[in-house]
Amino acid sequence: MSSHAAQRVPDGGERVDFVDPGDRVVAGGSRDGPAPHGLLRRYAATVCTDHAGRVLLYRRSSRARAYPAHYDVLIGGAVRAGEEYRTAALRELREELGYETACGLTEAYRHRVDDPHGAAFLTVHQWRADRAPRPDPGEIAWCGFVAPATVLGDRYAPLVPTGAEALRRLFLHAPRSP
């Protein structure tokens, strides 16, 4: 059985692990199903920068499940069953932007978030891109490198809240949003 097939559940969806408040895997199930009571999902994302310190900003597809047509700086998604956060971040960079490798990818922070799908642990990575992205048009409607402070202005609205928080935490050193 291929590793891709092993990541599927009977309904055809992706298989994910659910974690307790200590970020320990305690259950598995469908990505599309509800998290068991008291358990959290896991997400991995990356903020990409260029040699000038600008961040890769993109506009999500109008067909995205969450935050359709919003701007974001976090390239990422669900951590699959048995997958580590870093491995998931690398997979998402490959799937969404065409980056086969990402030397120097580092974890910046991990924290609990509440998103449209429920409570989750989000691990944010940073990576300095060494080549131009090749975005997946099914996921990304537009992308380009933009100064972090510019992204937080009114020009790029609506902006995904967790992406805005990542910019403040990583580049502007502003306090976290409540």
- Is the pLDDT assigned to residue 177 strictly greater than 80? no
Alpha-carbon torsion angle 9, 12, 13, 19, nearest 10: -10
SS3 state of residue 89? helix
Alpha-carbon torsion angle 150, 151, 155, 161, nearest 10: -150
Distance separating alpha carbons of residues 81 and 112, to the nearest angstrom: 19
pLDDT for residue 58: 98
Rounded to whole angstroms, the Cα distance separating 73 from 155 reads 14
Please, is 162 exposed, middle or buried when counting C-beta atoms within 10 Å of its C-beta (0-12, 13-18, 19+)? buried
pLDDT computed for residue 32 by the predictor: 86
What do you get for the CA distance between the two ends of the chain, in Å? 45
127-174 per-position pLDDT tens digit = 999 999 999 999 999 999 999 999 998 899 999 999 999 999 999 864
Asked if the model's pLDDT at residue 1 lies above 50, the reply is no
> Is 80 exceeded by the pLDDT of residue 117?
no
Q: What is the pLDDT of residues 24-68, one digit of tens each?
A: 999 999 988 888 999 999 999 999 999 999 999 999 999 998 899
Q: What is the pLDDT of residue 42?
A: 97
pLDDT of residue 168: 94
